[in-house]
Amino acid sequence: MKRRKPAINCHRFKATVAAVLSMSATAHADNAPVTSSSTPAAQAIEQPASVSAVPVAVPGGIYALALPEGVTGVRYRKRDAYIYNGTALIGISLKASVGTHELTLTRADGSEQRLFFDVADKNYPEQRITLANPNMVSPPPETLKRIREESAKMASAYRRYTPVEESPVPFVQPLDGIMSSPFGRKRFFNDQPRNPHSGIDLAADTGTPIASPSGGVIALTGEFYFNGKSVFVDHGGGMISMMCHMSEILVAQGDKVSRGDTLGLVGATGRATGPHLHWTVKLNGNAVDPVTLMALFAPTPPTTSIDTPLSEPTESPSPGS
C-alpha cells in the first residue's frame, strides 16, 4: 500500500518556518567552554519564550524565502536550494561571512532575478575535547592520501541534488539519546583548533539502532578515518543526512529507505571518545542544525504566536556596485 504524505497547509508551514528560525537565530548561546573526555556531558539547549519577528540568517542557520509567483528555483553560491510548500530553505555555512549575501531566482520563462539578504554574526561556544590517540588530532603523513580520497567521496555525496520523493514531515531524531554536543561548537582537540561541530552528538549504548530521519536513498557508506563507519542518506532536494561512528552498517549504497528504517548501530569508530551517534544534515552543501530541521518539519507547528509572517526580500542593487 502506498504511504500517504502528511498533509501540511502551506500558510501554516510558513508560520512554522518563521517561528522556528526566529528561535534558532535569537537563542542566547552559553559561552562557558565545554570539556569532554571519555563521556561527553549533556548540554541543554536554550530557547526564548516568545518570538515577534523573522530573523536575518546566521552562520550555520537557515534562510527561508517565500517564493514569489512564477519562481521555480533558487540558487545560493551556485547550489540549488531545497524547496518545500512554496518556501526555499537555504543552508548558510558555519564559516559564512557577516554581511550581504546573494540569491539567484529562476522563473518559469527562464529569466533570472537577483535578491539579497543579510547574515548576522552568531557566537557559538567552545568545546575542548581530550583524545588519547594523537593521530586523531594530527594524522600521520601515511594516512593523508586516504583522508583526501575519503573527503572527495563525502564531498560528492553532499553535492547530490535529486527529486524529493517523500514528505519531510515529520523529520525525526534517529534515536533516543542524550545530546552530548550541540551543533556549531568551536572545537579544540587536545587544545588544537579544528573545524566547528557540524552536527549534533547523541550519546547512547553501543548497538543501539539508528533510524533514518526521513525517506531517501543511501548515497554512500564506508568506514572513514575520522568518521568511522558512516551512512549518507539523500533525502532529495539537496538535503543530505550523515550518520557516523557506527559499530555496524546495515544498509548498502543505492538502497531506498523510509522514515524509521534502521541504518546501522551506535558505536565509537573513528574519532570518538565514547559510543554515540554524530548526525550531520546539509542543505545545499552547508551543515545546518538538525534540531532546527526537526522543528521545521514537525507534524504540528510551534505554540509560539507569530505576529510577523515570513517575509519576502526585495530586489536591491548589487553590493559594491
Mean of the pLDDT values across residues 202-229? 97
Average pLDDT taken over every residue of the chain: 81
Residue the block writes with cell 583548533: 193
Q: How many CA atoms lie within 13 A of 25 on its CB side?
A: 24
Cross-strand bridge partners of residue 107: 71
Tally helices (H) and strands (E) across the chain: 3, 21
pLDDT value of residue 99: 94
Query: Which fold is adopted by the domain 10-296?
Result: Glucose Permease (Domain IIA) (2.70.70)
Is residue 281 packed enough to be buried (19+ CB in 10 Å), middle (13-18) or exposed (0-12)? buried
What one-letter code names the amino acid at 51?
A: V
pLDDT value of residue 149: 97
pLDDT value of residue 173: 97
Residue ranges covered by each domain of the chain: 10-296
Q: CB neighbours of 138 closer than 8 A, spacing ≥ 6?
A: 192
pLDDT digits (tens, 9 = 90+) for 32-75: 333 333 323 222 222 222 222 334 799 999 999 999 899 999 99
For the record, the C-alpha cell of 208 comes out as: 543501539
Helix (H/G/I), strand (E/B), else coil: 233: strand
- DSSP for 58-77 reads -TT-EEEEEPPTTEEEEEET
Instruction: Record the pTM.
Output: 0.80
Decide which of 17 and 114 is more confident. Answer: 114
What one-letter code names the amino acid at 116?
A: F
- CA-derived radius of gyration, the chain: 20
Confidence bin at 131 (pLDDT 50/70/90): confident
Cross-strand bridge partners of residue 116: 102
- DSSP for 84-131 reads ETTEEEEE--TTPPSEEEEEEEEETTS-EEEEEEEE----PPEEEE--
Mean of the pLDDT values across residues 200-215? 97
258 has pLDDT over 90 = yes
| Cα distance between the two ends of the chain | 56
Alpha-carbon gap, residue 248 to 207, rounded angstroms:
8
Instruction: Provide the residue count of the chain.
Output: 321
Q: How many CA atoms lie within 13 A of 273 on its CB side?
A: 21
- Of 281, 283, 214, 288, the C-alpha closest to 244 is 281
Identify whether 301 is preceded by a cis peptide bond (ω within 30 of 0). Answer: no
Q: In what order do the strands lie in the sheet with 62-66?
A: 62-66, 87-91, 82-84
pLDDT digits (tens, 9 = 90+) for 137-180: 889 999 999 999 999 999 999 999 999 999 999 999 999 989 99
Q: What residue spans of the chain are helical by DSSP H?
A: 10-26, 144-158, 290-296
